[in-house]
A and B are shown apart, each in its own frame.
Chain A
Amino acid sequence: MVAYHVFDLNPVVSLLLNLTLLGVICWSLFNIEKKYSNGNKFVILGLLAITGITGRILMSPIPNVQPVTVIVLLAGIRMGAKESIFLASVIALFSNLILGNGIWTIYQAAAWSIIGCLGALFSNKLDTSMKLILFAGISGVLFNWFVSVSILHSVGFDMLIPYLIVGIPYDLLHVVGNITFMIWLSNPLTEIMSREIENNLNFEVNEYEPKPF
């Protein structure tokens, strides 16, 4: 019996397949959202979480290039701190079920939460696309350095600085990735996150006029 599933994929090919899958999931997801959600914030949060989880898992062949940082940052800015904390924790946990769970999960959740909260805190100031892009870049370094602190569980403080220095090219990847994702996702995600509930409360209240006695 030939094992059809056992063959070695070129990493570039497998990355392209991953990206195709990610594209299909996002495209269908966001089209469905338009059809059903009517701006219900809870539905939107679920949809953003799924996008973050699948995005992180499917882009994992490229280290540090993933949409999660930008998603939680935008969620913090457009929706609020609590929403971004929820997204950060859920995305960290569920993507790590595939990518590997460990002590770093709590650090990743915390780091993304902090980025989301900073976004919420400075939401009034982050009003131009240039500022958003700059902040996305900074978040990349902030996230990596925060998560790096988790190595102190296994090695001494002396190792932290060499560890951070080794990581700088990876920080660069995160920064460039974040900037790209911010440029691409800022408008569509802002549109979805800021959508007001339109049809749910359609009780035609305005047309009700009490009859005079």
Chain B
Amino acid sequence: MFENIGRKHIISVVILVAVIVAFPQINKLWLESTEEVRSSLITSENNTHYGLPSEWENTQVICIHFPIEDVTSNMTASNFTDGITYFDVSGSEILINESSEALVNYSEGRDSGVCVGGFENYTAGFNFMLEATNVTNGDIEIGYDDGEWGPYIHTIAGLNANDLTGNFSGAYWSLYHNGITSDVGIGDLVMLENSVIVWEIATW
């Protein structure tokens, strides 16, 4: 049956054995070198959803970034102080982004936070914010006052901007819409189908 075993046969077996023996190394090298490509996060910096899970592309997302240096200990969301935690519309944690360098409106001193995304068809910003933060069962509770120009957000996830102390005159929760500072408050914000709204602590 195998009467004509030639050089080709021997070489093929030698190569096969070599590949099998080296396979764990090959696989490890491959996984390391393709880590960035395989990332399920949106990597295009021009995208409004940059740094967010790719399944959230063209959906509505809210992100809250916490300042690590000033985080008060009574923050109910202290389980968000490490990396960025992503929740889907049902409130299930989908992943924690440990290397939070890829982030919408990322600025220094803010490498912890939480995002809830995958929503559709919201038009009123405030309504969206309340419902989206509500899916995590109180982990991202919102505190606000009804002011003359609509709701004024002072507390997110137990972090009250007025309680922050440091080398500044005052601090407040600042609202970004698709990468730029929103020129209207959350009460007047009209959501787009691909809106990413971000809350960050800003100081003056």
A residues apposed to B, CB below 8 Å: 30, 62, 65, 156, 158-159, 162, 165-166, 168-170, 172-173, 176-177, 179-180, 183-184, 187-188, 191
For B54, give the chain A residue with the smallest CB separation. A158
| Cα distance, A158 to B94, chains bound together (Å) | 14
Do residues B13 and A168 form an inter-chain contact, with CB atoms below 8 A?
no
Q: Are A62 and B40 in contact (CB under 8 A)?
A: no
In the assembled complex, the Cα of A165 lies from the Cα of B37 at a distance in Å of: 9
A149 CB → nearest B CB, Å: 18
**A158 to B42 Cα, complex, angstroms:** 11
Contact A184 B2 (CB under 8 A): yes
Across the interface, which residues of A come within 8 angstroms of B13, CB to CB? 180, 184
Report the Cα distance A10→B191, complex, angstroms: 61
Given A168-B30, A173-B23, A180 contacting B12 (CB threshold 8 A): yes
Main secondary structure of the interface of A (DSSP, over half): helix
* Interface mask (B1-18 → A, CB under 8 Å = 1, otherwise 0): 110100011001101100
The reply to whether A176 and B31 form a contact with Cβ atoms under 8 Å apart is no
- The smallest C-beta distance from B13 to any residue of chain A, in angstroms, reads 6
CB–CB B15/A176 < 8 A: yes
Given the complex, which residues of A lie within 8 Å of B2, measured CB to CB?
Answer: 184, 188
> CB-CB contacts of B24-43 with A at 8 A, as 1s and 0s?
00110011001001111000
Q: How far is the CB of B118 from chain A (nearest CB, A)?
A: 11
| B19 in complex: contacting residue of A168, A176, A184, CB < 8 Å | A176
Total number of B residues with any Cβ neighbor in A under 8 Å: 23
Given contacts A169-B30, A188-B2, contact A158 B12 (CB under 8 A): no
Complexed CA–CA distance, A177 and B37 (Å): 27
User: B20 at interface (Cβ–Cβ under 8 A)?
Assistant: yes
Closest beta carbon of chain A to B185's beta carbon, Å: 34
Known: A169-B30, A176-B19, A177-B16. 15 other contacts (CB 8 A): A30-B1, A156-B55, A162-B37, A162-B38, A162-B39, A166-B31, A169-B23, A169-B26, A172-B19, A179-B12, A184-B9, A184-B12, A184-B13, A187-B4, A191-B1
Q: With A30-B1, A180-B15, A183-B12 as given contacts, are A173 and B38 in contact (CB-CB < 8 Å)? A: no
CB distance from B92 to the nearest CB of A (A): 14
A162 to B95, CA, bound (A): 16
Tell me which of B23, B37, B55 contacts A158 (CB under 8 A). B55
Can you give 10 contacting A-B residue pairs, CB < 8 Å? A156-B55, A158-B40, A165-B34, A168-B30, A172-B19, A180-B12, A183-B12, A184-B12, A184-B13, A188-B2
